[in-house]
Structure 1
Amino acid sequence: MCMPCHGTGVQVRMHQLLPGIVQQVSTVCLNCQGQGQRISQKDRCKTCGGRKIMRQKKILEVHIDKGMKDGQKIVFHGEGDQEPGLEPGDIIIVLDQQEHAVFTRRGEDLLMSMELQLVEALCGFKRPVQTLDSRTLLVTSHPGELIKPGDTKCVLNEGMPMYRRPFEKGRLIIHFSHKLKELERYLPEKMNPEQTDSMDEDLYIYADLEDCDLESRRRHRHQFYYMDEDDCASTGGVQCHTS
């Protein structure tokens, strides 16, 4: 014997096992599919068939603000799956930053490498750099500004825009290297390893080169070795008389 669900969504079945012994089994109501109410066939929605749920495509426009970072999330509240009696879920967009062929991002700074010829490192250079926002920077080094291999220079306010402060930017950091292999073809050959190995190291005293400030050294010596006649008199020295 089956009993209607009476709006509960659960159908009760009664099975008589033995005289005077009855088993009661509760199952999901097949008529209302557990919803607790039945809709007649003529009143059912032609789209969902009375299930009260339908699939729908919706286009969401995702706006990426300047300066947003890898892994940052954009949340569309209430745009997820919906079911009767339940609050709709959210759609969460997670940003995945792709690698760039020239620039590497480090926070608000952009890093890049630039290889120079020897004449550029010694005599200055002008190199165009295409920015991410389609501008062209002319990176300039003036004659006399020696750029050594491994030097790092930066251009202020040409990095990534800061999040929610788009008019403030980080730095463009440039790491320099030189085309030394090409230069070796035009210079005398280096000493062979066999020649250096044959040297008697006991005959040599190793001397390490260090940076020096000649002007500072000259001022230091001038302080100790120069006195005029007034200085000599004030220190109680004996005045020299000439005949």
Structure 2
Amino acid sequence: MKHGQRITFTGEADQPPGVEPGDIVFLLQEKEHEMFQRDGNDLRMTYKVGLLEALCGLQFTFKHLDAHQIVVKYPPGKVIEPGCIHVVQGDLPQYHNPFEKGDIYIKFDVQFPENNWIDTDKLSELEDLLPPRPEVPNVIGETEEVELQEFDSTRGSGGSQRSEAYNNSSDEESSSHHGPGVQCAHQ
């Protein structure tokens, strides 16, 4: 059932002799749930998995709204990508329509390990197990080698301005075929 939906029991209110009884009307108010969000006749949830589960298969259990347990299995060898969505089909009954069922959509939040979680000598073993890195292209001419730094959006020296400039684009720029923020100058 949905938020704001009414259930009416016709003629079930006070019934004194000689008076026509009224109706009892229940107005449903949907309560937020810690795991599920309603989306029409379906439910959505987010489930956190570790990198091992994302790469090597998983099995987990969660409690449905009516308290029955659902066991979810995902086979080894199939990779769960961060942010991907999978579905448990036909597991949510609909009011006055017992043959139609809603689905449960599960969005996976893949949790990566913290920095320096493994000894450096073990990294080569891990690298041997994973698909190979892309080849580094040969660079001809002058080059500059740099190291990536973590971005701190709270840093005061123009960091927030840079992120605003990076994230903002005008409608004019986004509809242009020249790319965002590119202007041509004639000499």
- Tell me by how many angstroms 1:155 deviates: 1.1
In the other structure, the counterpart of 1:179 is: 111
Residues of 2 paired with 1:165 and 1:78: CA distance? 25
In the other structure, the counterpart of 2:60 is: 127
How many residues align? The count is: 123
After TM superposition, list the pairs within 5 Å mapping 1:144-155 onto structure 2: 144-155=77-88
Specify whether residues 82 and 170 from structure 1 end up closer, same or farther in structure 2 by C-alpha distance, changes over 3 A only: closer
Amino acid at match of 2:149: P
Give the % identical residues: 41
1:99 aligns with 2:32: yes
Residues of 1 paired with 2:43 and 2:104: CA distance? 5
Specify whether residues 186 and 111 from structure 1 end up closer, same or farther in structure 2 by C-alpha distance, changes over 3 A only: same
Determine which of 50, 69, 93 is the counterpart of 1:117. 50
Asked if 2 retains the 8 angstrom alpha-carbon contact of 1:118 and 1:183, the reply is no
After TM superposition, list the pairs within 5 Å mapping 1:17-28 onto structure 2: none
- Tell me by how many angstroms 1:132 deviates: 2.0
List structure 1 segments (4+ residues) > 3 angstroms apart after TM superposition. 76-83, 85-91
Cα displacement string for residues 42-89 of structure 1 (whole angstroms, at most 9, x for unaligned residues): xxxxxxxxxxxxxxxxxxxxxxxxxx2211112233456799x99665
Specify whether residues 163 and 149 from structure 1 end up closer, same or farther in structure 2 by C-alpha distance, changes over 3 A only: same
Specify whether residues 185 and 169 from structure 1 end up closer, same or farther in structure 2 by C-alpha distance, changes over 3 A only: farther
Residues of 1 paired with 2:23 and 2:37: CA distance? 33
Residues of 2 paired with 1:131 and 1:91: CA distance? 30
Residues of 1 paired with 2:67 and 2:61: CA distance? 12
Which structure 1 segments of 5+ residues have no match? 1-67, 195-243
Residue 90 of structure 2 aligns to a residue in which SS?
coil
Which structure 2 segments of 5+ residues have no match? 121-146, 151-187
In the other structure, the counterpart of 1:75 is: 8
- Tell me by how many angstroms 1:114 deviates: 0.6
Specify whether residues 118 and 183 from structure 1 end up closer, same or farther in structure 2 by C-alpha distance, changes over 3 A only: farther
In the other structure, the counterpart of 1:193 is: 149
Residues of 2 paired with 1:170 and 1:82: CA distance? 39
Specify whether residues 144 and 116 from structure 1 end up closer, same or farther in structure 2 by C-alpha distance, changes over 3 A only: same
In the other structure, the counterpart of 2:101 is: 169
With structure 2 as the length reference, what TM-score do the two structures score? 0.56
Cα displacement string for residues 200-232 of structure 1 (whole angstroms, at most 9, x for unaligned residues): xxxxxxxxxxxxxxxxxxxxxxxxxxxxxxxxx
Specify whether residues 91 and 122 from structure 1 end up closer, same or farther in structure 2 by C-alpha distance, changes over 3 A only: same
